[in-house]
Structure 1
Amino acid sequence: MIINDEPENTMGTYTTAELSVDVTGEKLELLTLLQDQRNLLKISARNLSDEQARKQSTVSTLTIGALIKHLANGEENAATIITERDENAEFDMSRAATEYELVEGETLAGWLEAYDRNAARFDRVIADAESLDEVIPQPTAPWAPEREWSTIRTMILHLLRETSHHCGHADIIREALDGQTTMGAISEGQDWADAEWMQ
């Protein structure tokens, strides 16, 4: 992936953030920025073995594999919340026990595939939504015991924030593993990347 510096790029994305759905206007802007962050997250996982994807390289217990898994589940959950619109939904706490780890039998490749699949489903749900102003009931959870309602727009922004947040985690974890940085990775082969200020 390289920085998208083509003249038609007006959203300031770092990657070529192609969508699997045909949308325009605000949907296009929001989903393109979200896809850019998804791409950046996946760059942090490139060429890693399952062992490396499970490795805790900082004082945090987070790993790159766990972050991919967590965000893949987040995409799936968000799509389901919108399509099912269950006013009695509760967060499934049984999933929390292994949410942040690759357990026996799980692979980085498997979760990267799930991430792409779930992201495409989420984008399709957004493309099919009549309006981003539609209000959706959110599941209750121990940290949110009262039922909350969010617009689809707010749900996209929440997912964008969550993905961006964990992109930073993944970048630090990867740099501690082998020195790769996301900005270094996306600038490979670019003439300007050899400039003194990039060193």
Structure 2
Amino acid sequence: MPTVVRNETDERDALLAYLESQRAGLRRAVLGLDDEQAAARPSASAMNLAGLVKHVARTEEVWVQGVLLGRAEKAGSEEDYVNGFRLLEGETLAGQLDVWARIARETEAAVLALPGLEDTVALPDAPWNPPGMKVSARWILLHLIEETARHAGHADIIRESLDGRTAFELVDLAAREGRPMG
């Protein structure tokens, strides 16, 4: 569920604000849940809230650090992708939220340090990417907003299936607890 995004100062700031707003929607969907609840699969889908948090965090890291900044060690592997939708032994929802907060700070720093949003990078070789396609930093940020929003919507449905709490109720709860709205 969207909330009102803060007023932006320029395009870069607007893209970061909308990305943070979508992150906040997913964070609200896990508000007050323990690891067992966050790992539950209350529908026919294999998706769970903890896995969505982990996936979106890792996706953001791969796109910004791996693709945009060209850091090969952050590019990810097929195993990372498969394991990215569930908590592994020793992982917790709180730990994944902390990892995502760190990645979000790194994303903001990277985007603010870019000379512009027009610079392009090649998409990685993958069956779902057109061969030789190049994308701008702007495209990557828009893609991250799209990806995060899509999964925030999934999270709303999963949360409501778990305990009946709707996005509207969770916005209210977050506001009462003084948590960032987005």
Give the TM-score normalised by the residue count of structure 1.
0.79
> Displacement of 1:150 after TM fit?
0.5
* Offset at residue 59 of structure 1 (A): 1.2
Unpaired stretches in structure 2, ≥5 consecutive residues: 176-182
CA spacing shift, 1:175–1:151, aligned 2, 3 Å? same
Q: Which runs of 4+ in 1 moved over 6 A?
A: none
Task: Select which of 43, 47, 52 maps to 2:32.
Answer: 47
Is the 2:28–2:174 contact (alpha carbons within 8 Å) kept by the matching residues of 1? no
Confirm whether residue 180 of structure 1 aligns to residue 169 of structure 2: no
Q: 1:178 to 1:125 in 2, by over 3 A?
A: same
- In 2, Cα distance between equivalents of 1:85 and 1:107: 26
2:17 matched residue in structure 1: 32
8 A Cα contact 1:85 1:137, kept in partner: no
| Paired residues for 1:33-112 under 5 Å | 33-80=18-65, 81-84=67-70, 92-112=77-97
Structure with bigger helix share is 2
CA contact (8 A) 2:50 2:87 kept: yes
- Aligned equivalents of 2:5 and 2:29: distance in 1? 16
> CA RMSD of the aligned region, Å?
2.6
Distance 1:15 1:64, change over 3 A: farther
CA–CA distance in structure 2, aligned partners of residues 109 and 189 of structure 1? 16
Q: Deviations over 1:28-78 (max 9, x none)?
A: 111111111111110001111100111001111100000000011011112
- Which of these two proteins has the greater Rg computed from alpha carbons? 1
2:33 maps to a residue whose letter is L
Count of residues in correspondence between the two structures:
173
Q: CA deviation at 1:188?
A: 4.8
Q: 1:111-126 to 2 correspondence within 5 Å?
A: 111-126=96-111
Partner letter of residue 141 of structure 1? A
Higher relative contact order (CA 8 A, sep 6+): 2
Structure 1: gaps of 5 or more residues: 4-12, 191-199
Tell me which of 147, 155, 158 is aligned to 2:132: 147
SS of the aligned residue for 1:84 comes to coil
Q: State the alpha-carbon separation in 1 of the partners of residues 173 and 41 from structure 2.
A: 26
Partner SS state of residue 69, structure 2 = helix
Structure 1 residues 30, 139: closer, same or farther in 2, change over 3 A? same
Conserved 8 A contact 2:5-2:18:
no
Structure 1 residue 163, shift from structure 2 partner: 0.4
Provide the TM-score with structure 2 as the length reference. Answer: 0.86
1:175 to partner: Cα distance = 0.4
Amino acid in structure 2 at the alignment position of 1:139: P
Q: Find the aligned partners of 1:90 and 1:109 in 2 and give their Cα distance.
A: 24
Question: Following the alignment from structure 2 to structure 1, what is the Cα–Cα distance between the partners of residues 81 and 103?
Answer: 18
